[in-house]
Amino acid sequence: MAAGNAAGGGAAAVLFLVLAVPSALLLVAGDDPYRFFTWTVTYGDIAPLGVKQQGILINGQFPGPQIEAVTNDNLIINVFNNLTEPFLLSWSLRILCYKNDAGEGHEAKYSRANKRISK
């Protein structure tokens, strides 16, 4: 009799796995990640060459924060301009390369058109 209960318990476990695993897979989402940033642009004192001067700060720091993202990341950057004049924000594109591109441990720089400009 005990052998019959053990066999029935094993069948119940298999049935549970057959139903639970596909159900769990329905809960998994594979969307590209979103990264949210809020930047406040202000004036502040900086001394990049040892001479104190007024500069533009992002979140109280100069130079501004570094964004690290990978291919297909969605970046949402909210910028609040607290300056007394309009502010233009631009950034350069820098792609780090892997083994077969520029060689291990090297960087290749690309233009915005994604054409290699240096190695």
Q: Which residue has the higher pLDDT, 75 or 90?
A: 75
Three-class SS state of 84? coil
- Per the DSSP assignment, residues forming a β-bridge with 118 are 109
DSSP secondary-structure letter at 49?
T
> What's at 12, amino acid-wise?
A
Taking residues 99-111, report their average pLDDT.
Answer: 50
Q: What is the pLDDT of residue 90?
A: 80
Highest mean pLDDT among 18-22, 39-43, 102-106, 108-112: 39-43
User: 32-88, what's its fold?
Assistant: Immunoglobulin-like (2.60.40)
Burial class (CB in 10 A: 0-12, 13-18, 19+), 78: exposed
Query: Which residues, in sequence order, are CB contacts of 89 under 8 Å at separation 6+?
Result: 41, 79
Encode pLDDT of 8-62 as tens digits.
667 777 877 777 777 666 776 667 789 999 999 999 999 988 999 999 999 999 9
pLDDT of residue 118 exceeding 60, the answer is no
